[in-house]
């Protein structure tokens, strides 16, 4: 028996590799101990991490009653109510410019003058052509009178001679001469009409060489200097831009297609400009145009607002941001928009059991159960969550107007003072 026991111990020692030299056995024991320490340390970490996770900590806000103002925001530029580009219809050299930027002008006031030397010469030439045409008319009338009298003389001779004299040929020639004289008179009269038209045209060119203001207003742009040559061959060049009355202006804003259904004429608005960031200017919607504008794939509709600018603080071209009031609700039951966006987190999946080896070995992740969401086709049907003893509880509601931060509650089992959940924060475990 003793021999057998000794033999078995020897086999075990040989299996563990402990039959070698003492130094090698000691090294193997050290490695075995190190592996055991690592396993123990990993087990402690897993056991510590497998404790209960921190419970969710919910942030709430209170449902309240207050007045709600729903607005549509749009940007655009200020424009004069009536802006006129003043050009010129004749070519020439600018002799003088008689107004400058920001000058107040009246209807008919001279803005600039062209050098009319060439136009004056053309006017004198057309006047002479008219005089020549009128003289030719008198000449042709005299010829007609002469031919007419000759025809009458021949006709009397024929009557006295009982048709013997003059001959038929002479009488026909006299009649043809009289007819040609009448035609030449008509032609001369037409030449007179043409000469009169040319004279009037040249006179009009001279009149248009003096550029006058078509409206009462202010000079916004002066695009010409004395001595500058202007050519009006195909298109009248713009020399001045006038604004009729800057005390009344228009704000042209681009309203997004998603909001245009809420905007209509008569609605009250307010706007700000960068020049006066602390000041709000009143306005009123005048027109919502049907024509669409597409910029980078975004469809907008031009909306015109009336603006009172009695103190002339606003200037044409300023960029403005307008808030158009589309709906006002007094004493509305309001819920924060964050509460409408809130959804409770899915419950955490914990794994309390299992061996140390099982926790060390990687396993496929378990599927996290998803909360069931009920989506109503009615966009006005929403829900909020309140905190009960058992956790978040859902309350269905019907919503109305919104100002971007709060939304009106039309119906639902909530009232002012009720705390609704708006967010959740993870509380670290202890």
**For residues 268-303, b (16+ Cβ closer than 10 Å) or e, as one string?**
ebbbbbeeeeeeebebebeebeeeeeeeeeeebbbb
Q: Does residue 210 carry a pLDDT above 50?
A: yes
Residue of higher predicted confidence among 366 and 217: 217
Residues composing the chain: 430
What dotted CATH number matches 71-81+248-329? 2.40.30.170
Q: Find the radius of gyration of the CA atoms of the chain.
A: 51
User: What is the SS3 assignment for 95?
Assistant: strand
CA-wise closest residue to 306 among 364, 352, 247: 247
Contact assessment for residue 241 and residue 250, using Cβ atoms and an 8 Å cutoff: no
CA-wise closest residue to 185 among 223, 229, 145, 125: 145
Contact assessment for residue 82 and residue 243, using Cβ atoms and an 8 Å cutoff: yes
The widest CA-to-CA distance across the chain, in whole angstroms, is 194
Of the candidate ranges 1-15, 121-135, 179-193, 305-319, the one whose mean pLDDT is the lowest = 1-15
Residue of higher predicted confidence among 46 and 139: 139
User: What is the SS3 assignment for 83?
Assistant: strand
Mean pLDDT of 174-189: 94
pLDDT value, residue 374: 40
Q: Could you report the per-residue pLDDT of 260-313, keeping only the tens digit for each?
A: 999 999 999 999 999 999 999 999 999 999 999 998 899 999 999 999 999 999
CA-wise closest residue to 73 among 337, 341, 270: 270
CATH level 2 (architecture), domain 56-66+333-426: Beta Barrel (2.40)
Whether the link from the prior residue into 166 is cis, omega within 30° of 0, is: yes
pTM above 0.75, yes or no: no
Share of the chain above pLDDT 70, in %: 79
Q: Which residues contact 87 (CB under 8 A, 6 or more apart)?
A: 232, 236, 237, 238, 239
Q: Could you report the per-residue pLDDT of 76-116, keeping only the tens digit for each?
A: 999 999 999 999 999 999 999 999 999 999 999 999 999 99
Whether the link from the prior residue into 69 is cis, omega within 30° of 0, is: no
CATH level 2 (architecture), domain 84-238: Orthogonal Bundle (1.10)
The phi, psi pair for 341, rounded to 5°, reads -90, -10
Task: Give the start-to-end residue ranges of the domains of the chain.
Answer: 2-49, 56-66+333-426, 71-81+248-329, 84-238
CA-wise closest residue to 326 among 409, 398, 404: 404
| Alpha helix ranges (H) inside 279-345 | 337-341
């Amino acid at each position: 028996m003793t021999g057998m026991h000794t033999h078995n111990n020897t086999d075990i020692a040989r299996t563990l590799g402990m039959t070698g030299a003492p130094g090698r056995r000691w090294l193997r024991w050290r490695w075995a101990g190190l592996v055991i320490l690592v396993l123990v340390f990993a087990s402690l970490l897993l056991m510590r991490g497998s404790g209960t996770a921190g419970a969710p900590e919910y942030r709430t806000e209170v449902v309240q009653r207050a007045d709600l103002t729903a607005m549509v925001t749009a940007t655009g530029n200020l424009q004069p109510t009536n802006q006129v580009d003043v050009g010129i219809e004749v070519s020439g050299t600018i002799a003088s410019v008689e107004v400058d930027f920001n000058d107040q002008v009246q209807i008919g006031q001279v803005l600039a003058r062209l050098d009319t030397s060439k136009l004056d010469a053309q006017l004198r030439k057309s006047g002479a052509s008219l005089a020549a045409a009128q003289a030719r008319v008198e000449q042709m009338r005299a010829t007609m009178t002469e031919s007419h009298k000759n025809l009458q003389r021949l006709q009397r001779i024929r009557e006295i001679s009982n048709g013997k004299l003059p001959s038929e040929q002479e009488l026909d020639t006299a009649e043809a001469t009289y007819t040609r004289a009448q035609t030449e008179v008509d032609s001369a009269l037409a030449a007179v009409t043409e000469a009169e038209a040319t004279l009037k045209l040249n006179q009009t060119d001279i009149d248009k060489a003096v550029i006058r203001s078509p409206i009462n207003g202010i000079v916004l742009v002066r695009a010409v200097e004395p001595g500058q040559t202007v050519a009006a061959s195909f298109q009248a060049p713009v020399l001045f831009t006038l604004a009729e009355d800057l005390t009344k202006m228009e704000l042209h804003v681009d309203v997004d297609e998603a909001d245009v259904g809420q905007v209509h004429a008569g609605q009250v608005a307010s706007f700000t400009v960068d020049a006066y960031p602390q000041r709000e200017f009143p306005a009123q919607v005048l027109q919502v145009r049907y024509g669409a504008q597409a910029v980078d794939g975004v469809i907008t509709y031009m909306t015109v607002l009336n603006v009172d600018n009695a103190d002339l603080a606003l200037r044409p071209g300023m960029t403005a941001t307008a808030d158009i009031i589309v709906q006002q609700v007094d004493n509305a039951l309001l819920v924060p928009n964050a509460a409408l966006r809130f959804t409770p987190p899915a419950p955490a999946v914990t794994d309390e059991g299992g061996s140390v080896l099982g926790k060390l070995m990687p396993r496929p992740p378990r599927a996290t159960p998803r909360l069931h969401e009920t989506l109503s086709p009615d966009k006005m049907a929403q829900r909020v969550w309140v905190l009960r003893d058992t956790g978040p509880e859902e309350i269905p509601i019907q919503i109305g107007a919104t100002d971007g931060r709060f939304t009106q509650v039309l119906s639902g089992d909530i009232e002012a003072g009720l705390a609704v959940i708006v967010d959740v924060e993870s509380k670290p475990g202890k």
